[in-house]
Amino acid sequence: ATKVDALVMGAKSLEELLFPRSLNPLPQVRFTERPDVVAAHLYEGHIIILTDTTPMAMIVPVTLFHFTQHAEEYLQAPAVGTYLRWVRSLALFLALFLTPLWLALFQQKQSLPQFLHFIGPRQSSTVPVALQFLILEVGLDLIRMALIHTPGSLATSLGIVGAILLGDLAVQVGLFVPETILYTAVVAICSFAIPSIEFSLAIRLFRYFLLLAAAFFRLPGLLVGSVVVLVFIAQTNSLGVPYMWPLLPL
C-alpha cells in the first residue's frame, strides 16, 4: 500500500508512485478519457485504475503496440482500420529513423549507388548538417511550447511566423538547407500522428540519440545505435509484460 497526504497531480502523481521514474523515457501506462477505450481494454484483460477528480483512466499493462492504437481504427471497416494502423505504424518508423538515416547516408554519399545520389543538400550552408537537425528539433519544441501558452487568436499567426517565415529566412541567409527543414517537418508530422504524447516524446529522445550516433559514426553508428534502441525497448516491461510482446519474446 502507498500512503501519501495528497495526489496533487491526480493520476500522474499516482503513476509516479506505482511506477517510479527512471532514465527510461518509455511510458509504462496508457491514459485515456474515452469510456469505450476503457471498456475494450477491460474486455481484453487489462487493469483500469481510476483516480478521484482526474478525468482520465490509467490502463495497465501496456506494450509498444498499444501506443499506436486509436479508437478511430475500430470505428471503420476492417480494411480501412487496418490501413490506418499501417499508416500510423509507418509514421512511427519515420519519426524515429528518417532524419538519422538521411544524415548517415549523406555522410557516406560517395559510397552510395547511383540511384541514391539524390540524397544530400543541393547548396552549402554555414551550419553543419547534423547541427542543423538538432537546432531544428529544439526549434520545433520551442514553437510547440510557445503555441501552448499563446492565446488562441494569436496561435495561428505565431505558427505561420515560426514555421514558415523563420524557416524561409534561415534558408535565404544560408544557415540551413531546404532538405533539413523538409525532413524535419515530415518527422514532426509523423510524431503528431502518434496518439500518445508521452510515447511521442520518448521517440523524440531516441531520435536525438540516433542523430548523434549518425553524426559521429556515420552509417555504422546508426546501425549500432538502432540495435541499442531496440534492446532498450525490448528490456522495458509494464507490470511484468514485455514491451514488445508478442514479437519479443516469441
pLDDT band at 55 (very low <50, low <70, confident <90, very high): confident
Contact 203, 95 (CB under 8 A): yes
Mean pLDDT of 104-129: 78
pLDDT band, residue 91 (cuts 50/70/90): very high
Give the integer Cα–Cα distance in Å for 115 and 72: 38
What's the mean pLDDT in 83-107?
Answer: 92
234 and 242 in contact (C-beta within 8 Å)?
A: yes
Phi and psi at 132, nearest 5°, equal -60, -45
Cβ-based burial of 67 (10 A; exposed 0-12, middle 13-18, buried ≥19) = buried
DSSP, res 56? S
CA–CA dist 132, 136 (Å, integer) = 6
Tens of pLDDT, residues 163-182: 667 777 777 777 788 888 88
Q: Can you give the pLDDT at residue 99?
A: 93
Q: What crossing angle do the helices spanning 178-192 and 78-107 adopt, rounded to 10°?
A: 150
The mean pLDDT value for 221-231 works out to 94
pLDDT confidence of residue 142: 83
Q: What average pLDDT does the segment 27-54 reach?
A: 89
Residue 225 pLDDT greater than 90, yes or no: yes
Map grid coordinates 504524447 to a residue.
Answer: 197
Residue bearing the bigger pLDDT, 5 or 93: 93
Least confident of 18-32, 55-69, 144-158, 236-250: 144-158
For the segment 212-226, the average pLDDT, to the nearest whole number, is 93
Q: What are the residues whose beta carbons fall under 8 Å from the beta carbon of 92, sequence distance 6 or more?
A: 68, 190, 193, 194, 203
Per residue in 9-22, pLDDT tens?
A: 778 888 888 887 77
What pLDDT sits at residue 233?
92
pTM: 0.87
* Predicted local distance difference test score (pLDDT) of residue 205: 94
